[in-house]
Amino acid sequence: MPKHIFRLVSLIAGFLAVTIIAIPFLVPDSFYRFGHYRANSVIEIAAQEPVLQTANYCKDCHTERHAQWSASNHKSVTCEICHGTALGHPQKGKLPIPKDAARLCTLCHEAMPGRPRTQPQIQVAQHSSGQQCNVCHNPHSPKIAAALVKVAGNAAAGKRKAADCAACHGEAGISPNDTWPNLAGQHAAYLVRILAAYKSGDQKDVAMTPLAQALGDADIQNLATFYAGLNCKGAAGGKAAGDAAAGKVLAKNCVACHGETGIGSNPAWPNIAGQQPGYLVNVLKAFKAGLRKDPMMAGVSRGLSDTDIANLAAYYAAQNCQSPKQGKAKP
State which of positions 10-49 bind ligand HEC (CB under 6 A): none
Q: Which of residues 56-75 bind ligand HEC (CB under 6 A)?
A: 57-58, 61-62, 65-66, 69, 73-74
Tell me the C-alpha distance between 262 and 19, whole Å. Answer: 83
Amino acid at 169: H
List the one residue out of 262, 300, 286 whose CA is nearest residue 144. Answer: 300
User: By CB under 6 A, is residue 188 in contact with ligand HEC?
Assistant: no
Single out the residue of 9, 22, 23, 207 in contact with ligand HEC (rule: CB under 6 A).
Answer: 207
Stretch that binds ligand HEC, among 5-13, 14-22, 86-94, 228-236 (CB under 6 A): 86-94
At position 52, the amino acid (one-letter code) is L
Distance CA 285, CA 282 (A): 5
Q: How far is the CB of 236 from ligand HEC (least distance, A)?
A: 15
Cα gap 237→239, rounded to integer Å: 7
For residues 36 and 92, which CB has a smaller minimum distance to ligand HEC in the complex?
92
Residues 159-178 that bind ligand HEC (CB under 6 A): 164-165, 167-169
CA–CA distance from 4 to each of 7, 13, 114, 309 (Å)?
Answer: 5, 14, 83, 94
196 binds ligand HEC (CB under 6 A): no
Identify residue 207 by its one-letter amino acid code. Answer: A
Cα–Cα dist 137/163, whole Å: 39
Query: Residue 40 or 179: which CB sits closer to ligand HEC?
Result: 179
Contacts with 10 (C-beta within 8 Å, 6 or more apart), sequence order: none
Burial class of residue 286, CB neighbours in 10 A (0-12, 13-18, 19+): middle
236-275: which residues touch ligand HEC (CB under 6 A)? 250, 253-254, 256-258, 269-270, 272
Q: Does 230 bind ligand HEC (CB under 6 A)?
A: no
Of residues 21 and 206, the one with the C-beta less far from ligand HEC: 206
Residues 120 to 139: which contact ligand HEC by CB under 6 A? 120, 122, 124, 127-128, 131, 133-137, 139
Number of residues located near ligand HEC, criterion CB under 6 A: 87
Beta carbons of 314 and 242 less than 8 angstroms apart: yes
Of the candidate residues 188, 208, 240, 244, the single one contacting ligand HEC (CB under 6 A): 208
Give the whole-angstrom CA distance, residue 228 versus residue 71.
31
Tell me: does residue 288 bind ligand HEC (CB under 6 A): no
| Residues between 210 and 229 that touch ligand HEC (CB under 6 A) | 211, 223
